[in-house]
Structure 1
């Protein structure tokens, strides 16, 4: 085979492998987002990074995830089943592949007890802080807050993920902490997550 033909063949093999990896990333990320919308906690666990699950145990992970969405104070719901996901480049660091995915998400927090005007102000400030957004609107008739924010998922593909993309959802504080514990400063800096 001529060198020219060989290099063209090699280009197509690499391009095909990259497009399959990108397609797999997009399909898995959509499934991960939809699991959050549907509050399908088992699917969220299946699509989460395995070492994170090991460090906190699957049972604890499921309990914390459920409490994130439903607890004695409020119920949290993603408002749209499908939203556009913005994919960062697939970055290879130390034989691991990463992609930072950002998503503009409208969420609603329904509070169980009727909020006073003082509580509304307190909850608004709290929701702005935890969601890193100023776009928080109280709806008195529903006793709820509408929150528009940008969420961050980090996809990881490595030797522990069984040939699939697995995720961290930085909306969940314990997942952000786990990511920081599992990956070194070089990974965070390279991905632009060291802020």
Structure 2
């Protein structure tokens, strides 16, 4: 036999107990904390990823510029103890790229740049071509940014530079300063490429 149920409006209503309210608020608070911590982790990772992508794109453009300069040059030379790369074109015009370390400290990368000089032998008005870079340290020795090899059949220049954080074992003060530039964690890569003059 089918019996009719009570209408919805006639159902017995009751309030929420204090225990149910505390449990519900606890679950909501835990979900809120989990969501907030996820957003913080994402924000930190996004800054690091964005910085890494920007550094890679900047480095790629810089290397392509140097490859173009080398293809158009009749000679290439390294000057000033490996801090300057110079291309001389067939029309005797000169292109100079110089590594500038603003504070003389390799471990602080914020002021380290490779500049393209607009006027030869002066950094006045120079364009920044690569930033957040530093010399590479290998086996306890600090390598020059630009190197020249005259022993090969054709003289060529080599660029070796680290872009990004210096190393993972930096002291806390330096790490904090670099993290303001590159984001949390260790973001770095090394560019090691050679250039042979093409217009010989």
Same fold (TM > 0.5)? no
* Structure with a larger share of its residues in helix: 1
Computing the radius of gyration over CA atoms, which structure comes out larger, 1 or 2? 2
Give the TM-score, by structure 1 length: 0.30
Give the TM-score, by structure 2 length: 0.29
